[in-house]
Chain A
Amino acid sequence: MSRSARPRLLPFGDSAVLVVLGEGVDPALNARARRIAAAVEAANRDDPRFGRPVAAYASVLVPVDPIDPGVPRAVEQLERLVEEADASPVGAADDDQQPPIDLPTRYGGPDGPDLDEVASSHGLRPTDVVELHASVVYRVYFLGFAPGFAYLGPLPSELVRPRLASPRPRVPAGSVGIAGEQTAVYPVDSPGGWRLIGRTRVRVWDPTSDPPALLLPGRRVRFVPARD
């Protein structure tokens, strides 16, 4: 049913427009959101009155100058652009031009202090969890929470776990975590509430690189069990 809902363009304060496609975590809605964001970004790239769009699960936030064009005129201008971008069928070709990003990951032990708990909560062995987690080709839904923090999904239902009740004060950079239906890699040392099952040496965030984030919206990602 997600395909039948037309995008709604809502004022979001006086300096942004929020394009809403639906609710929930849905790969099809997310693909449409990313495609709309890319189209809006390309159309307004040289127009300083529009900011860089931010796609999330099922929406796109478009920053606009509050006087010129101002939100009412921006909604008019964006409506047609959004409709056109959304009109063609979503093809796998859009997202899968580039190969999946492989992240060698050390699972369990000191690198994955929550692996055993995730396993036992679903009546699985830790090796089952590793195999399941590594068996999926994930999609980057969007980035948020911290620079370079990519929300990956969909997670197999057997691995779904809520966040920790209390976050850890320090999660080492590269830690691989699970929360809800998502998995993610912590890009820098930070406090964190996700359940940690492993760690990768791959640097997913480097502000001196271009682009500074490795896991960009729409990219495919795989975790590869490794010894180091």
Chain B
Amino acid sequence: MLEVLEAGLLDTIQDRGRPHHRHLGVPEGGAADSWSHAVANLLAGNDPAAAALEMTIVGPRMRALADITVALAGADLGARVEPGNRPLAPGRSVRLRAGDELVAAGRAAGGRGARAYLAVAGGIDVPVVLGSRSTCRAGSFGGVDGRPLRPGDVIHGGEPGGEPVDAWPAEPIAPHIADRDGTVVVRLIAHAGAGAARRVVGRRWTVTPASDRMGLRLDGDATPSEQPEVTSHGVVRGTVQVPPDGRPIVLLADHQPTGGYPVAGVVIAADLPALGQLAPGDGVRFVLVDLVEARAALEAQRAAWAATLDLLRADAAWHDLWRSAGA
């Protein structure tokens, strides 16, 4: 159990979201960086889809009310365990003792990424609403009362399932962000008949502070348009909308299921986790790819994930062997 002493910038409980109620106006929700969210859970010995705590830029201060194993993945938000000022780096798990405090004071200068995921052994235990434990702020349900965490909130872990893992044998943050060197390049499938795509590619955009879990709001060399709106239609995470002022909006986890702005294109599935790690001030560039390239990118990513899991299993087998021999 963890008690929130000080809230971070935006701390919400997230799992994989609720994709089956969009037709009722319910955002899909879930972790903005699904990759790092899964890594944190696996480190904690959880199912990768378990509910975890998503922290943004500056995290909370929490006190362990009982001994509990936690794990961290995603951006390095300066997490430390007190007493002892022990750093908790993303890609690690740690056993907290009752009374320990965990604090994530914020991203260091020059750091990568925007969001970190804190997984708790057994997954975070909050009620399931519409098939998910994710926080839905638009409807004020899910997570902890459909809102970000506040001081006084207590997070409970569920029944621990698997064994925690000490360290993730790969980068514990979404691909793309791991090897970024300045501007992040994001791949886009152009939307049919879209002159809108031309207003978005071929230039560098900057993520503005108006960005949130509904979408990234970008600024840069914007081309205003005469076309104010199109007939509202269903949209998905990664949709790049171009409002009349020409400044793109890239939809994220909590986006409304329908939209009436012209669509330039949709970010490919392989690059969606990276979108969740873009912070205000970061640079973004869009390049157009086709469905063949998009598929190849996703298959390569899934292969890399499977290879990491193989490494983990090999480590676990070795760990078991060691313990059975020595214990």
Contact = CB atoms under 8 A, between A and B. Distances in A.
A14 B136 contact: no
B299 A208 contact: no
Given A16-B266, A54-B234, A71-B291, 16 more contacts: A13-B236, A15-B266, A15-B269, A52-B20, A57-B232, A66-B268, A72-B291, A146-B138, A146-B256, A147-B21, A147-B136, A148-B25, A207-B139, A207-B141, A208-B129, A212-B130
B68 interface: no
Given A12-B236, A13-B238, A70 B269 contact: no
A60 interface: yes
A213 interface: yes
Contact of A143 (B23, B238, B239): B23
A67 B298 contact: yes
B258 A66 contact: no
A51 B269 CA distance: 15
A53 B24 CA distance: 11
17 contacts: A11-B291, A13-B236, A18-B233, A22-B231, A23-B230, A53-B23, A54-B23, A55-B234, A56-B258, A57-B233, A66-B269, A188-B140, A189-B140, A207-B129, A207-B141, A211-B24, A212-B130
Give the bracket for the number of chain A residues in contact with chain B. 35 or more
B176 interface: no
B182 interface: no
B232 A144 contact: yes
Interface residues of B, number: 43
Interface in A1-51: 10-16, 18, 20, 22-25, 37, 51
B97 interface: no
Interface string B240-256: 00000000000000001
A37 B23 CA distance: 10
B22 interface: yes
A23 B231 CA distance: 6
Contacts of B298: 14, 66-67
B265 interface: yes
Residue among B19, B130, B234 facing the most chain A CB atoms (10 A cut-off): B234
A145 B258 CA distance: 7
B295 interface: yes
B294 interface: yes
Interface string A60-95: 110100110011100000000000000000000000
B189 interface: yes
A188 B139 contact: yes
Interface of B: 19-27, 129-130, 136, 138-142, 189, 191-192, 230-236, 238-239, 256-258, 265-269, 291, 294-295, 298-299, 302
A77 B235 CA distance: 21
A51 B139 contact: no
A18 B234 contact: yes
A208 B140 CA distance: 12
Contacts of B21: 52, 147, 212
A194 interface: no
A205 B24 CA distance: 10
B291 A70 contact: yes
Contacts of B256: 144-146
A190 interface: yes
A52 B22 contact: yes
Nearest to B238: A13
Which 5 residue pairs are nearest across A and B when measured between Cβ atoms? Answer: A13-B266, A61-B234, A144-B258, A54-B234, A147-B139
A51 B28 CA distance: 11
A187 interface: yes
Contacts of A52: 19-23
Contacts of B26: 147, 212
B299 A54 contact: no
Given A16-B266, A61-B235, A146-B139, A55 B23 contact: yes
A190 B256 CA distance: 14
A160 to B, nearest CB: 16
Contacts of B299: 67
A56 B231 contact: yes
B75 to A, nearest CB: 25
A59 interface: yes
Nearest to B258: A144
Contacts of A63: 19, 236
A174 B227 CA distance: 33
